[in-house]
Structure 1
Amino acid sequence: MTNTVLLNNVDHADLKVSTARGEALGDGVNQAVVVPTEFLELQREFPILVKKDQAGAWQAIALLGFDSGENLFLEGNRWTSRYMPAVMERGPFTIGMDRQADAAGGDPMINIDLDHPAVGNETGAPLFLKHGGNSPYLERIAGILRRLHAGLQIRKSFFDAMERLDLIEPVNIEGEFSEGMSFKIPGFSAISIDRLNELDADALHQLNRSGHLYAAHMMVASLNNIGRLIEMKARKVAAQSGGSSA
């Protein structure tokens, strides 16, 4: 259950949010939904795959681990990656938009889940300054939420273009971490580099003008990180068994 309310500097003047990370704070997951506006940063760290949500819409997924609840980029209370998916870094905050602001083209507002384990009044980063302005921490969160909001705005058009040009293909993610220990993750698709390279000039021009061509190439480049993820898992398995990984 959540207790999500619109954030304001009157009711929440003394509210603080812990900036710690860890499984208890929601970081113990092996997948994160991501958006096109962060593909550049993501592709340096994580494989970006594709699958449909429960409503049947395509969404991009950053793969963080192989087992349920396994985040190979989480060591205790810190992330080892240089970039954290925005949906993870936002913590207890979400994007809100009232109908009047939405109709007028206004900025999205910030909601907060008061029941989130990171939220409290005693410790953590303050959300507001003494005289009511946003704290540096809240300004950073606002930037993360703006990036998420912008990405959500273009996600459908991006995947509509990928599907129209038949660039989405199923992928088999399977192999071995070590002798006798294999893995298989079904249900994912990816952007096909072969089909992307076969597009004619007109299709490439349209993708480039829309900004979708760059995002597609970022997704393709990210697939090299599957090998890195396997190596990280192999080291973890070796460490747990008391051995060493080559």
Structure 2
Amino acid sequence: MATLQLLNNITHKDLRVQTHYSADFGDNISSVLVFPTEFDALHKEYPVLFRRHAEHGLQAVALLGLVSGENLFLNEHYPQPPMAGSWMARYVPGLLAKGPFMIGYQQHGGNDAVIHVDMDHPRIMQATDNTGSKAVFLEKGGESDYLQQVAATLNRLHLGQDEASAFYAELDKLSLLTPINLAITLNNGDKLEIQGHETICKETFANLPADTLAALHQKGWLAHVYAIQSSLHNLSWLIDMKNALEHSRT
């Protein structure tokens, strides 16, 4: 259970965080929730698909693996990785990159966004243990480069959450989504299926009238559609990584 505290440079002056990636930190997941503000970076590395959640409605996810509980971007899976605990892509999805931090709000005549930290998160380190960890605050109380990176990530997620509901509603309004079921045969003969997701329907998108495309472009959403479509090319990269992992196990 999370123990959230408002981050400050007095209470947390010695706070350090492990920043490498590992199954020990809960990173071994086959997909992660992502947001429109990430699509431009995500589409270069991951397949981005949609799923419908019973409570939260339409959501975008980045595929990290082809079977449940397996993240192919964790190089700890592979023999003799170049740097244990590193991530095998240039961009790490924000919900994983943010570590133990999240945005909260304080009332000061308005809702002010502030950073909270989960002190029960497995990445939190004791002040006396700085092995492989990063400081959150500098010695004299200023923000470390690491904290500034976290703040930028949290801001990107915050803006993405605000944009997501309107963009996803427009996708449904235009009937732009269609189910996608993936059937994959690995080099060793294993057969995998990924079901329950949706993607942009090429035919519907191709037949959108010019004024609709112009409206999507004006809102910045046309670029999102192109990024989602382009991201599907990364399925071949996931399959290559899965084949390499299975070969290393034989």
Name the TM-score class by shorter chain: over 0.9
Task: Report the RMSD for the aligned CA atoms in angstroms.
Answer: 1.4
Q: 2:87 aligns with which of 70, 79, 97?
A: 79
Are 1:219 and 2:224 counterparts?
no
Q: 2:170 aligns with which of 161, 168, 177?
A: 161
In structure 1, list runs of 5 or more residues that go unmatched.
242-246
Cα offset for 1:179?
Answer: 4.5
Aligned CA distance change for structure 1 residues 168 and 100 (closer, same or farther; 3 Å): farther
Alpha-carbon distance between aligned partners in 1 of 2:5 and 2:207, rounded to the nearest angstrom: 49
Q: Normalising by structure 1, what TM-score? A: 0.92
The residue identity in structure 2 corresponding to 1:93 is F
Cα offset for 1:56?
Answer: 4.2
Per the alignment, residue 147 of structure 2 pairs with 138
Alpha-carbon distance between aligned partners in 1 of 2:93 and 2:121, rounded to the nearest angstrom: 18
Cα offset for 1:202?
Answer: 1.3
Alpha-carbon distance between aligned partners in 1 of 2:73 and 2:34, rounded to the nearest angstrom: 16
Q: Tell me the SS of whatever aligns to 2:239.
A: helix
Cα offset for 1:131?
Answer: 2.2
Alpha-carbon distance between aligned partners in 1 of 2:15 and 2:75, rounded to the nearest angstrom: 28
The residue identity in structure 2 corresponding to 1:41 is A
Alpha-carbon distance between aligned partners in 2 of 1:28 and 1:56, rounded to the nearest angstrom: 23
The 10-residue stretch of structure 1 (162-171 or 231-240) with the greater mean CA deviation from structure 2: 231-240
Per the alignment, residue 138 of structure 2 pairs with 129
Alpha-carbon distance between aligned partners in 2 of 1:137 and 1:229, rounded to the nearest angstrom: 29
Alpha-carbon distance between aligned partners in 1 of 2:244 and 2:213, rounded to the nearest angstrom: 41
Once superposed, which parts of structure 1, at least 4 consecutive aligned residues long, lie more than 2 Å away? 98-101
Q: Tell me the SS of whatever aligns to 2:196.
A: coil
Per the alignment, residue 204 of structure 1 pairs with 213
Per the alignment, residue 118 of structure 1 pairs with 123
The residue identity in structure 1 corresponding to 2:187 is S
Cα offset for 1:192?
Answer: 1.6
The residue identity in structure 2 corresponding to 1:18 is Q
Q: Normalising by structure 2, what TM-score? A: 0.91
Per the alignment, residue 11 of structure 1 pairs with 11
1:39-61 CA-to-partner distances (Å, cap 9, x unmatched) read 11110110000002241411110
Alpha-carbon distance between aligned partners in 2 of 1:84 and 1:74, rounded to the nearest angstrom: 11
Alpha-carbon distance between aligned partners in 2 of 1:133 and 1:48, rounded to the nearest angstrom: 37
Alpha-carbon distance between aligned partners in 2 of 1:125 and 1:239, rounded to the nearest angstrom: 32
Per the alignment, residue 96 of structure 1 pairs with 104
The residue identity in structure 2 corresponding to 1:220 is Q
Are 1:50 and 2:50 counterparts?
yes
Alpha-carbon distance between aligned partners in 2 of 1:111 and 1:53, rounded to the nearest angstrom: 26
What is the aligned length?
238
